[in-house]
Amino acid sequence: MSDWVLGVIGGSGLYDIPGLNGVWRAIESPWGQASDQIFDGELDGQRVVFLPRHGRGHAIAPSDINGRANIDVLKRAGVTDVLSISAVGSLKAELPPGHFVVVDQYIDRTFARAKSFFGKGLVAHVSVAHPTCPRLRALAGEAARRIGAQVTEGGTYVVMEGPQFSTLAESQLYRSWGCSVIGMTNMPEAKLAREAELPYASICMVTDYDCWNEGHGAVEVSAIIEVMHANSAKAKHLVAELARAIKTIPRTPSPIDTCLDFAVITEPEARDLELVKKLSAIAGRVLN
Where in the sequence numbering do the catalytic residues fall? 208, 210
Residue 174 corresponds to which amino acid? Y
**Residue 209 known to bind ligand:** yes
**Residue 90 known to bind ligand:** no
For residue 59, give every residue at least 6 positions away whose Cβ sits within 8 Å of its Cβ, in sequence order, or none. Answer: none
For residue 288, give every residue at least 6 positions away whose Cβ sits within 8 Å of its Cβ, in sequence order, or none. Answer: none
**Residue 205 known to bind ligand:** no
Sign of the C-alpha dihedral computed for residues 169, 175, 181 and 184 taken in this order: negative
**Residue 53 known to bind ligand:** yes
HSE value, Cβ hemisphere, 13 Å, CA-based, for 56: 8
**Residue 54 known to bind ligand:** yes
**Residue 184 known to bind ligand:** yes
**Residue 185 known to bind ligand:** yes
**Residue 137 known to bind ligand:** no
Distance, CA of 51 to CA of 35 (rounded, Å): 8
Q: Which of 2, 7, 1, 3 is nearest to 196 (CA)?
A: 7
Distance, CA of 236 to CA of 122 (rounded, Å): 39
Q: Residues annotated in the binding site for substrate, as ranges?
A: 184, 208-210
Q: Residues annotated in the binding site, as ranges?
A: 12, 53-54, 86-87, 184-185, 208-210
